[in-house]
Amino acid sequence: MNKKLFRWSIQILILAGVLFAVSIFSLCVGSSGIPLKKIFWTIFEGRGSTEYSIIFDIRLPRIILGFAVGGSLSLAGVILQGLFRNPLVEPYTLGISGGAALGVCLNIVLGIYHTSILSLPVSGFAGAILVVLLVYFLTLKKGILKIQGLLLTGVMLSFISSSLIMFIMAVSQTEDLHGIIFWIMGSLEEPNMLLIKITVFLSVFGLFGTYLFCHDLNAFALGEEEASHLGVDTEKTKKALFILSSLLTGIAVSVAGVIGFVGLVIPHFVRMFIASDHRILIIASFLTGGAFLILCDTLARTVIAPIELPVGVITGIIGGMMFIYFLNKRK
């Protein structure tokens, strides 16, 4: 076996082990702690007990959703940073999160969320897709997708969305305002298991879809012109990757709210400590992003328990400190 492939396989197994360990830790801790031994007993023989309800109705769904959302945001970050050749680009740079947040704000203010438990994520996803379509068609000129145009258009639409959200918040009632603020700060508290399953399926599908472009992303790291010389159909690849990253971000944001820094910091972390080759970077970022968000959510619900912090607060603090550390280390 090739030495590099063997090393990558070991690293993937280690990351999978870390993900499993973080998940077990998250099952154990909370406002009602459950010892490790009792976790396994409860899973296999404790049906009907209080611990069983805590594990399967509260903690496990959050862990599964955290894995899917963290993995999706990390994948989107890997794609966009590779496509733009810019380490500061993250999933929210293109205004996707702003569109999703605007959709949810309108839903809350208009009272649509009373009609169905799925109305909030559907509104968020619709807002995200609307922004994606606007960015795409405003940037597309004669069948050519300009990379820098994508970035600038996305940033401008993000500013517009943020301004509209602030306007809505300024004229909203107090109860609506609280709901908007809490959603914007992010949360993994999702009661609908069907929605969680759909999110997991789409995130794993996105992982396989992204991996199909691993060689193309490696070529883009050399520049768009060099990638074309290496046989990459740059226009089709840019469009496919933009749509894929947008869908991954839209799915994550519509379910969990605006959770920052995951798509920015995790790809940096993996590049620095594992490899920048997209053949390993894609899988490693997916696993690391999932583990990171599960850990942050665990901290969010235990730091000042029984009060729960928005998970976006924790990812912002930890992610910001990690990013500053990475910048200083590169210097």
Q: Which domains does the chain have, with CATH numbers?
A: 3-330 (1.10.3470.10)
Cis check: omega of the bond before 91, within 30 degrees of 0: no
Rounded CA-CA distance 70/145 in Å is 28
Instruction: State the average pLDDT over residues 80-85.
Output: 88
> Which of 41-50, 76-85, 214-223, 251-260 is least confident?
41-50
Q: What does the pLDDT read at residue 112? A: 80
Task: Say if pTM beats, i.e. exceeds, 0.85.
Answer: yes
Rounded CA-CA distance 133/150 in Å is 11
Q: What does the pLDDT read at residue 267? A: 92
Rounded CA-CA distance 52/41 in Å is 10
List the structure tokens of 236.
Answer: 């089709």
Q: What does the pLDDT read at residue 1? A: 54
List the structure tokens of 326.
Answer: 């990475």
> Cβ–Cβ contacts within 10 Å for residue 329, how many?
8
SS3 289: helix
How sure is the predictor about 330, in pLDDT bands with cuts at 50, 70 and 90? low
Instruction: State the average pLDDT over residues 68-89.
Output: 90
List the structure tokens of 263.
Answer: 């798509």
> Which of 51-65, 98-112, 136-150, 189-203 is least confident?
136-150
Range 217-222, long-range pairs (CB < 8 A, 24+ positions): 217/78, 217/79, 217/82, 217/83, 217/241, 217/278, 217/282, 218/277, 218/278, 218/279, 220/82, 220/83, 220/85, 221/82, 221/85, 221/276, 221/278
